[in-house]
Structure 1
Amino acid sequence: MLFLELSKKVDPIFIKLDSWFDLSISYVPNVLIAILLLVIFRFLAGYGGRLMANVLAKASQNEALVSLVSALTRIVILTTGLFFALGILGLEKTVTSMVAGAGVLALALGFAFQDLTTNFISGAFIAIQRPIKVGDIIETNGFTGKVKSINLRSVIIDNLAGQQVEIPSKDIFQKPITNFTHSGERRVQIDCGVGFTEDLALVEKISLEAMHSLGFLSATRSVDFSYVKFGASTIDFQVQFWIDQAKTGPGSAKSEAIKVLKTAFDIHGIVIPVKGSEVTPTEAKKDLT
């Protein structure tokens, strides 16, 4: 009696286990195919990541961007393979839930790290469009200096005074940039003045000759000389010239130009009046008579 009752309770368990075993045996081919598919997509992810890195390396010098895009390429390929594998196993609902969860997670992270996301996207556009490169002299966001590194989150510049300035990528991308290196040339201006009694045509001739003696002038640009106004004790003029930045910087160029201009004026006896010595055009005319 006891044996019969026990067998009645055990039989359903064995029947259930037997059905599970048969079901698992029927799933073996699908499991093997899913595993094989994951292995194939794993290989494709590695190959796709390397291919994307090689292509981007030719278009951008930003190593951070190249690594990020390469990693994203691998993730996308692997995720695609995972979805296919789950579909083969008949887990379509799981795939749908994963996609929905990934969307919600991406939206939440986007709001939580809005500034960080904006900087990353801006950094990516800077790396692709390349308005600046490492080594360029730029002016942006109130800072002037040489670009030291271009990262996805920020751009680091040397302010030419011994400090490094880190500027968020979104500020670089959204605000004007003056690139002094892009053309390879830069204009330098010198403001000066001579006395009212000087021969203005001679001053211009001597100034231009002095400027052309400099060895770092641009080969494609001319030196411009112009008188701009009557000052309190001088007739003021400007000398504008372009330099080849591969040979010198604007500060050194201006210093050398001032020296050769002063030397030329001394040789020809041209006087640069001392500030505060008031000589009006009328008084200068009286001196000439």
Structure 2
Amino acid sequence: MEEFLHDIAQHVEGYYQTIVDITPKLLLAVVVVLISWFIASRARGFADQRLKRKMHDPLLATFIANLIKAILIVIGFLFMFRVIGLTGVAQSILAGAGISAFIIGFALKDIGENFLAGILLAFKRPFSVGDIIESNGVKGKVVALNLRDTQIKSDSKNIYIPNALLIKNTLVNFNSGGFLLQDFTIGLEYGSDYKKALALITAMSWKLIMILKIRDIQILL
């Protein structure tokens, strides 16, 4: 019985010593991650502002800024491994990149696919911020192009479309020609005065603030 209690005491003491030894490293790891995240966020904001002023393309500027933040966060995690003495982990990650690339790539296929699609969209630029687009039955105004998805706003709701879907499916940009065309069908009862209806529709249309005054309104019967 005494020997059994002695073994338990040794195990508890060993666990306690392990916790005491690893706690400073865990705290240091948390501090390094938080600092890396803070630096990455600040760098992202700074890059976003500078790129928007120089490139005059807010969509591409925001995408590049988000990419910079992601790279800095990855570097921060690798630095964390080095600081807390886990350089072997970082080396194993880098050395095993070839083997793990297939496993991780298969497991994170959708994320990688959307990321690559985001790069294509950022440089191909089939739309800009503020454009009205429609894809896969979803229509709205483009707000931002992120690393994984494109954010659009429709009916006061934020909708996030995976970038890969915008590449694979048909994408309609209603602002591609510099104008937004909207079609409406208005029914009239038989025997109605269509001339008066045309005059009323035309007059009401010109009062709308979103109607451009450089083109005539077309009303077809």
TM-score when normalising by structure 2: 0.52
Tell me how far 1:55 sits from its aligned partner: 7.5
Q: Does 1:177 pair with 2:171?
A: yes
**Corresponding residue number in structure 2 for 1:223:** 217
The structure-2 alpha-carbon separation of the partners of 1:104 and 1:186, relative to structure 1 and needing over 3 Å to count, comes to same
**Does the CA contact (< 8 Å) of 1:137 and 1:146 recur in 2?**
yes
Residue number among 140, 151, 157 corresponding to 1:145 in the alignment: 140
Distance 1:209 1:132 in 2: 35
Superposition CA RMSD, Å: 3.9
**Corresponding residue number in structure 1 for 2:161:** 167
Q: Does 1:65 pair with 2:36?
A: no
Greater RCO, 1 or 2 (C-alpha within 8 Å, sep 6+): 2
* 1:61 aligned partner, one-letter code: L
Segments of structure 1 that go 5 or more residues without pairing to the other structure are 1-52, 76-96, 227-236, 238-289
Tell me how far 1:115 sits from its aligned partner: 0.8
Tell me how far 1:205 sits from its aligned partner: 7.2
* 1:211 aligned partner, one-letter code: T
The structure-2 alpha-carbon separation of the partners of 1:157 and 1:66, relative to structure 1 and needing over 3 Å to count, comes to same
The number of residues matched between the two structures is 151
Higher normalized strand content (fraction of residues): 1
Larger radius of gyration: 1
**Does the CA contact (< 8 Å) of 2:60 and 2:123 recur in 1?**
no
Q: Does 1:124 pair with 2:115?
A: no
**Does the CA contact (< 8 Å) of 1:62 and 1:150 recur in 2?**
no
**Corresponding residue number in structure 2 for 1:20:** none
> Which secondary structure does the structure 1 equivalent of 2:119 belong to?
helix
Segments of structure 2 that go 5 or more residues without pairing to the other structure are 1-46, 75-91
Distance 1:196 1:222 in 2: 27
Distance 1:65 1:175 in 2: 24
**Corresponding residue number in structure 1 for 2:16:** none
Tell me how far 1:192 sits from its aligned partner: 2.6
Structure-to-structure mapping, 1:80-95, within 5 angstroms: none
Deviations 1:207-243 (A, max 9, x none): 24751561444344333333xxxxxxxxxx4xxxxxx
TM-score when normalising by structure 1: 0.41
Tell me how far 1:151 sits from its aligned partner: 0.4
Residue number among 184, 191, 212 corresponding to 1:189 in the alignment: 184
Deviations 1:119-157 (A, max 9, x none): 100111111122222322222222222223220101122
* 1:178 aligned partner, one-letter code: V
Distance 1:158 1:142 in 2: 14
**Corresponding residue number in structure 2 for 1:207:** 198
Tell me how far 1:100 sits from its aligned partner: 7.0
Distance 1:63 1:110 in 2: 25
Tell me how far 1:170 sits from its aligned partner: 0.7
Identity %: 27
